[in-house]
Structure 1
Amino acid sequence: MQVHILALETSTSVCGVALLSQQGETTQLYVRRHEGSSEHAEFLLPMVEEVLAEAGVKRHEISAIAFGQGPGGFTGLRVACGVTQGLAFALGCPVVPVPSLLAVAEALEKVPGQLEVVALDARMQELYVAAYRYEGNTKTWLCCYNSLLIDAQVLPDWLMHIRTQENEIGTIRVSGDALVAFPELAANLKDMPSIQLGDTAKPDVEAVAHLGLRAFLAGEGIAAELAAPSYVRDKVAFTTAEREQGLGGNPAAVWRPA
C-alpha cells in the first residue's frame, strides 16, 4: 500500500510544507520552508503544489493531512488548521492534529525511557512546556504532561515538581527555543542536578509529517470538521471589570510553585 501524508506547520515564523510518501519499507520526503510569520497564508498553498509536483503525486492521492496543532502563534495556527480543513473537505481525507511541542521531541535523538521536556518561548515572559517519554518497544511517544503555559522564571520549580511526581525518573532533558530566548534561565538549568540541556529547535514540518504518518497508520485520523488549533493561552489580559475586582498580573499562566 502506498501512503502519502501532506504536512503543514505554521506555528512559528517558519512556514513549512512536507509530503511524506511510504510504500512498503521505503519512504520519501519532500519539503518546502519559508521564513516570514506574516506570509504564511500567501505561501502555504503554493508550497503544497510544489511538493506535490516534485513528488508526482495528485491531490486525490493524498491519504491524510497532518498539521501543527499548537500551541504557537495564534495566526499561524489558524492558517494551518484552516487550510488543512479546506483541503481535507475537498479531498475527503482524514486529518491528523500534531502537538507542536511533540514535534520538537520527535526531532531529538531518541533515548528510550528518558523524560523529554520541551520548552518553547510563548512571549510575554512565558513558556509553553510539555513532557514526553519515548517507548522503545513500541516506537511511540507517551505524553507524561500535556502542553501547559507557565511563567519562564518558574521552569526550574516545574521541573522539580515533575521529579516529585515520578519514580526513578533519571535525567531530564530540556529542549526547545526557550533555551535561546532565556539564556540566563538556560544557565541556571545547566547547574541543576540531573538536568541535561538538549536541542534549541522549534517545531519543524518534517517531524509533523513523521508523526502524522505514524498516527494515520494507527487509525488516529479524525474528520476535518473536528480539527482545531490548541492555543493553550486563550486569554492575555484581564477585563476592566476583572481588574476592578483586584485581579492583576497574567491571567493565563496558572501553574505556581507550591
Structure 2
Amino acid sequence: MKILALDTTSGACSVALHCDGHTFEQFVAAERDHTRRLLPMVDAVLAEAGIGLRQLDALAVSRGPGSFTGLRIAISCTQGLAFAAELPVVPVSSLAALAAGSRRAHPEWQSGAIVAALDARMQQVYWGIYADACPHDSLLPEAVADPQRVLEALQQSELPAPLYGAGPGWHYDALSVAPLASVDLQAAIHAREIADLALPLWQKGEAVGAEALEPLYLRNEVTWQKRQKIRS
C-alpha cells in the first residue's frame, strides 16, 4: 500500500509517504512559505522511496479544521496531484491527526482520551476528543468555541479520566484549569498520522475524487464573509 499525505493546517508543513510498510517524512515548522515548500517536499519523499506519483494507491490530506489559508494550500496541491495522476483522495480530520501524533509521542497517554485543540484565532479554539479505540471520530462533535465554553463542556462531560490536552489551542488562560492530567502545547500535526488514519478509511472505500475534496472550516460564517469581501 502506497499513500502520500500532505498537511499545512497550522504552523508546519508536512509530507509523508507510507510505502509498503516503510514511512518517509519531511516536516518543517514554518508559519509561512507553505506554497513554496510543499511540492519540493513531495518530490523529496517520493525520490527517497524510489517511486513515482503514478505508483501511488491514494493521496491523503488534512481536511481541517485549521487555518483557512493553510487548508486551501494543502487541499489545492492535493487536488492538482490527484488530477494529474488520476488518484483517489482520503480526507482526514486535522484534530484526529493531532491526537494520534500526541499519543505516539506520549506512550504514557495510551490509557486516556486526548483533547486536541488548535488556536482558531478570534479568541476561539477548534477542538475534539479522541480515544485510542476510535481514533477517527471525536467523542464529542468537533467544534469551534470560546475557551470558556470548551472548559465548561469538559467539566460537565462524563468522559472517563484521565484526559490529556494536545496542541497550541491550550494556551488560553481560561483553559489552564481544565480537568486534564497533562498538556502538550507543542504538539503538532504530522503528515505521517494523516497517512496512518487514511489507510483504514481507504480500505473502507471512503476515498473521494479530487473534484469532491472540500475543506472543513467549522467557522462557516467567517468563511462566507471572507468570500464576499473577495468577490466585492
TM-score, normalised on structure 2? 0.85
Tell me the alpha carbon deviations over residues 42-73 of structure 1, each in whole angstroms, 9 at most, x when there is no partner. Answer: 11111111111111011110111111111111
1:176 corresponds, among 155, 167, 172, to 167
Offset from partner CA, 1:93-124 (integer Å, 9 cap, x none): 11010110000111114635x33221221112
Structure 1 contact 134–141 (Cα < 8 Å) conserved = no
Q: How far 1:232 sits from its partner (Å)?
A: 0.9
Q: Is the 8 A contact 2:12 2:188 kept in 1?
A: no
Matched, 1:228 2:223: no
| Cα RMSD after superposing both structures | 2.2
Deviation track 1:200-238 (CA, whole Å, cap 9, x = no partner) reads: 312221211211223223332111111111111123499
Kindly indicate which of the two structures has a greater share of residues assigned to helix. Answer: 2
Q: Which residue of 2 aligns with 1:78?
A: 72
For 2:196, the aligned partner's letter is H
Q: Which residue of 2 aligns with 1:122?
A: 120
Deviations 1:96-155 (A, max 9, x none): 10110000111114635x3322122111211111122221xxx75443223201111332
SS at match of 1:187: helix
Alignment of 1:130-145 (within 5 A): 130-135=128-133, 140-145=135-140
Q: Distance in 2 between matches of 1:238 and 1:11?
A: 19
Equivalent of residue 48 in structure 2, options 46, 51, 54: 54
Percent identity between matched residues is 34
Q: What amino acid is the match of 2:14?
A: G
Tell me what 1:111 maps to: 110
Query: What amino acid does structure 1 have at the position aligned with 2:29?
Result: E
1:158 maps to 153
1:197 maps to which residue?
Answer: 182
Instruction: Return the TM-score normalized by structure 1.
Output: 0.77
Cα 1:36–1:115 shift into 2, 3 Å: closer
Evaluate the alpha carbon distance shift between residue 154 and residue 143 of structure 1 in structure 2; reply closer, same or farther with a 3 A threshold. closer
Q: Select which of 157, 165, 176 maps to 1:187.
A: 176
> How far did residue 159 of structure 1 move?
0.5
Q: How does 1:1-12 map to 2 (within 5 A)?
A: 3-12=1-10
Query: Could you tell me how far apart the structure 1 residues matched to 2:127 and 2:155 are?
Result: 14
Question: 2:151 corresponds to which letter in structure 1?
Answer: P
The structure-2 alpha-carbon separation of the partners of 1:140 and 1:131, relative to structure 1 and needing over 3 Å to count, comes to closer
Specify the alignment match of 2:82 in structure 1: 88
Q: Secondary structure at the match of 1:235?
A: helix
Could you tell me which runs of 5 or more consecutive residues in structure 2 were left unpaired when the two chains were aligned: 226-232
Distance of 2:29 and 2:110 partners within structure 1: 31
Residue equivalent to 1:37: 31
Asked if the contact 2:27/2:190 (under 8 Å) is kept, the reply is: no
CA distance in 2, matches of 1:231, 1:237: 8
- Bigger radius of gyration: 1
Q: What's the counterpart of residue 228 of structure 2?
A: none
- Please state how far the C-alpha of 1:178 moved relative to its aligned partner: 2.1
Paired with 1:104 and 1:237, the residues of 2 have a C-alpha distance of 23
